[in-house]
Chain A
């Protein structure tokens, strides 16, 4: 099999205060896959995500992105390869205009002039926000800001897009629009979410993280329809949602 885009092996990590969050996580994501990372609050999902681009460095075990290990020396290339979209777009968008914000990442990679402009326009077009390039981010709606946040990361040509709760706080229409955008992107995706129907809609495979380890993984429809497994990890489907019936309509 080809080198996985994301290869996490035996990853363990404790915070400086001694609180251990990860106890040996194994996770592989292959090119072109969309994988959902599920799990209750406090399962270590965010901690895991912050290992993927070297904000945290592995206490034990390893994280490899397309064959390149996440270490201090590789940090710049790793952060280009792994694009993280954080949950609150206000944390991610901090420049005066949308254009500058999308340009921030590629400019940090050394892109300048017309190549930079082209990259910005391309990234904004992918999320359908090219008409808003000169607006200040805080004048956009929440859904628009979320889409721009995705563009800020796409502009860096990542090999894997990591989304932290992409559907949170979106109204149903914005939620569906974002799903359409994500489905059309030609990029590998790891999506952290509590929104299980969203995971089913977008991701073939799901991984359950609980208690700092990967507790289960499999086809999303199988995971969601396994009532015992779901209950054991504090996962619950929305009222009346039938994953098997929903999967049949995909």
Chain B
């Protein structure tokens, strides 16, 4: 399936999920079923998705807190006095958030970053933004590689970041990395200009 259709489907799906009242429990079961079907058809391994759902953790913590701190009528669950509206809000946040994360992960699992960038381009995203994203995708690995090499070089000279006293060293490393990336940006631009680049990608 072309990447731009997937992006449109994802955004559409999320709008529907967010707009669905949280009391319609059956609707959420249906949404989950849709995602599971998509995942099964695309042969995405459930483990792959589950492992990456860790990004949702902060929301889960917040959702778990809500029944305790929210106001209004209270109910007793397992001997704990919880707020009714808090429970409902927590359910809504958790359900919508989880569906969103799963849907996003399904897109990530079935689409390479390059395809995604091209899909956004077909959706008429402004050319400059698309170019910036494409460069980010391309150079992320180069920059992280550089970062890793700098860390190895630091460690080889006996450096270990154990406490805040060591932070200035890390800050300087980040600074150096920024300057190196900036200079690389200039060299890339030079190489592009040398091949006739005038500010627009040829198409």
Chain A residues within CB distance 8 Å of chain B: 50, 53, 55, 76, 79-80, 83-84, 86, 88, 90-92, 94-97, 103-105, 107-109, 136-138, 152-153, 156
Q: Is the CB of B196 within 8 A of A79?
A: yes
Q: Which 8 A-B pairs have the closest CB atoms?
A: A107-B202, A108-B196, A96-B114, A105-B195, A91-B187, A92-B191, A84-B194, A79-B196
A138 x B142 contact (CB < 8 A): yes
CB neighbours of B195 from chain A (8 A): 79, 83, 104-105, 108, 152-153, 156
Q: Contact between B184 and A156 (Cβ–Cβ < 8 Å)?
A: no
Cross-chain contact of B194 among A55, A88, A97, A137 (Cβ < 8 A) = A55
Kindly identify which residue among B114, B188, B196, B203 contacts A94, using a CB–CB cutoff of 8 Å: B188
Question: Assuming A96-B117, A136-B114, is B190 touching A108 (CB within 8 A)?
Answer: no
Partner of A104 from B114, B198, B202 at Cβ < 8 Å: B202
B193 at the interface (CB under 8 A from A): yes
Return the contact of A138 from the options B134, B138, B196, B203 (Cβ within 8 A).
B138
Q: Is B137 part of the contact surface with A, judged by Cβ < 8 Å?
A: yes
Contact A86 B191 (CB under 8 A): yes
Q: In the complex the two chains form, is B191's CB within 8 Å of A109's CB? A: no
In the complex formed, the residue of A with least CB distance to B186 is A91
Q: Is the interface of A mostly helix, strand, loop or mixed?
A: helix
Check A138–B141 contact: CB distance below 8 A. yes
B48: CB under 8 A from chain A? no
Please tell me the size bucket of the interface on B: 20 to 34
Q: Is B25 part of the binding interface, using a Cβ–Cβ cutoff of 8 Å?
A: no
| Chain A residues, Cβ within 8 Å of B191 | 84, 86, 91-92, 94
Determine whether the beta carbon of A108 is less than 8 Å from that of B114: no
Of residues 150 through 203 on chain B, the ones whose CB sits less than 8 Å from some CB of chain A are: 184, 187-188, 190-198, 202-203
A sample of 12 more A-B contacts (CB under 8 A), given A90-B142, A97-B114, is: A50-B190, A55-B193, A79-B194, A86-B187, A86-B194, A94-B192, A95-B138, A104-B197, A104-B202, A107-B202, A138-B142, A153-B195
Chain B hits for A55, CB < 8 A: 190, 193-194
